[in-house]
Structure 1
Amino acid sequence: MNKIDIRTVNVIQYVHPLREGGSLPAIVKADDGFLYVLKFRGAGQGKKALIAEFIGGEIARAINLKVPELVFMNLDDSFSKIEPDEEIQDLLKFSVGLNLGLHFLSGAITFDPLVSNVDAMTASKVVLLDSIISNIDRTAKNTNLLHWNNELWVIDNGASFYFHHDWKNWENHLTRTFPLIKDHVLLQKATNLNKASNEIQDLINQDKIIEIVSNIPEDWLQSESDTMTTNEMKEAYIQFINTRFSKIDLLVKEAENAR
């Protein structure tokens, strides 16, 4: 099983905003010469969305789904000072520090459920991924999937793990399944759920879950409004993910019934 190696790069150029959704991600250039889609810590859901994006993306990668490389991105305070748009200026100002970037897939097109093709195994894996990470945002209205080089790529997992917006009650989510899977954009194409479940369980284990969670930057876990320590939060993510894997047969059944 491959070890996670998350690179850290510095933003050297703000190219342009992506005005899709409310969080205003942007195309930026880093000091390694590559373009990235930058997800800002100062956007609506803040650092929690970055955590969800990171964990969800690395779990997807671990189960052999296509995911753009994720990198930690340092943003300094120089960009907000030269940005004329006040909304973007504020976003840049509140996002100084460590953010999350996804390697920009030049020429990729948004997955369209009416015209785009996806094989049953890949569709089944994505459906189970989103059941495991409780991702409420992979619907026909907002697919959060790309087609690039004739392959399906998984992006935008920031709406996952929504229990972390209310740490006081997070344990209530341990006993739940994921009924919202009924709205998943790939559900009708996910006709290989049992085989996908077996492959997922072969590919990911407790050590991999711990490794992914341990790579979350401490800074992203710190908040004045949260009473839990950063270690307690990491343990909670690990426990939640383990619980989801322990009931993967239930998640398969739920998805099959919904389909």
Structure 2
Amino acid sequence: MLPILLTPRTVAVTRYVTPLREGGSLPALVEADDGFLYVLKFRGAGQGVKVLVAELLVGELARALGLRVPELVFCELDEAFGRTEPDEEIQDLLRASTGRNLALHFLSGASTFDPLVTTVEPALAALIVWLDCLTLNVDRTARNTNMLLWHRELWLIDHGAALYVHHTGPNWVQTATRAFPQVKDHVLLPVTTAEALAAADAAGRARLTPAVLAGIIAAIPDEWLTEPDQTPTAQRAGYQQFLEARLTVSATFTQEADHARLALV
């Protein structure tokens, strides 16, 4: 079966609006040539392009599961952009990020999700927990939920910390079946149920077919696949192998999540 191609749109930055200093990688609010505002994640930030790879892959996996994620676009940054920026730190970041970056559509007026204020249905909570177990996303805690409420709907953002094992060296793919004990800190775990987690596992495995995975992975730009001595094709194959292997142990990490849920009681 041919992959389902899901290539994001490409826009060009026309105006740097303001830095968003609450992010560790110093993302920024920018305007693009389509007239929309975006939250731009820079390729030249501290952890490099692998953060952009994780952001792209997990965001599109979430969308394939039916979860709400702001539109992801490739954002081109011209080398001349930012030469007049007075802040040296920002100027260095802009200079290091010439070329293709990643951006999320800015949800104007959105508020940060607060679990003490907003109730999430168990089925939705379980699907988000399941996605984060699949992708080893350590960054959806009460301290930093990485979820927004926009028009009374829950939206997922900021997945750069997921797939963290791809930072660990050339053999990272071999860690695919590892446990995910960090699920115990997931902000939505307390509102899931055993039945909802089992249903999320069944739905997730049904939706994330090899063809869907391949279509999402195919969208990673060659210039973001920078492992030495590995072609972009080989690196994409590594992501495919990793995610398919994670799916083969989904019952295990789903059970791990349920055990962690029970431990909270």
If the TM-score is normalised by the length of the shorter chain, which range does it land in?
over 0.9
Counterpart amino acid of 2:220? I
Cα deviation, 1:118-171, whole Å, max 9, x if unaligned, reads 111111011000000111111111111111111110110001111211233314
Shift of 1:244: 1.0
The answer on whether the counterparts of 2:4 and 2:216 sit within 8 Å (CA) in structure 1 is: no
2:212 equivalent in structure 1: 208
The answer on whether the counterparts of 1:7 and 1:72 sit within 8 Å (CA) in structure 2 is: yes
TM-score by length of 2: 0.93
Runs of at least 5 residues in structure 2 that lack an aligned partner in the other structure = none
Match of 1:220 among 219, 224, 233: 224
Shift of 1:2: 7.4
Alignment of 1:77-156 (within 5 A): 77-156=79-158
Match of 2:160 among 158, 161, 164: 158
Cα deviation, 1:175-219, whole Å, max 9, x if unaligned, reads 312111111111111221111112222222000001110110000
Identity of aligned residues (%): 52
2:59 equivalent in structure 1: 57
Counterpart amino acid of 2:198? N
Q: What is the RMSD computed on CA atoms of the aligned residues?
A: 1.4
- How far apart, in 2, do the equivalents of 1:44 and 1:258 lie? 32
- How far apart, in 1, do the equivalents of 2:183 and 2:119 lie? 20
Match of 1:245 among 244, 247, 250: 247
Deviates most, 172-181 or 53-62: 172-181
SS in 2 for 1:118: coil
SS in 2 for 1:92: helix
SS in 1 for 2:18: strand
SS in 2 for 1:68: coil
- How far apart, in 2, do the equivalents of 1:109 and 1:118 lie? 15
2:23 equivalent in structure 1: 21
Aligned residues: 257
Counterpart amino acid of 1:220? W
Superposition misfits of 4+ residues, deviation over 3 angstroms: none
SS in 1 for 2:176: helix
The answer on whether the counterparts of 1:163 and 1:169 sit within 8 Å (CA) in structure 2 is: no
Cα deviation, 1:37-86, whole Å, max 9, x if unaligned, reads 00000111110000000000000000000000000000012222011111
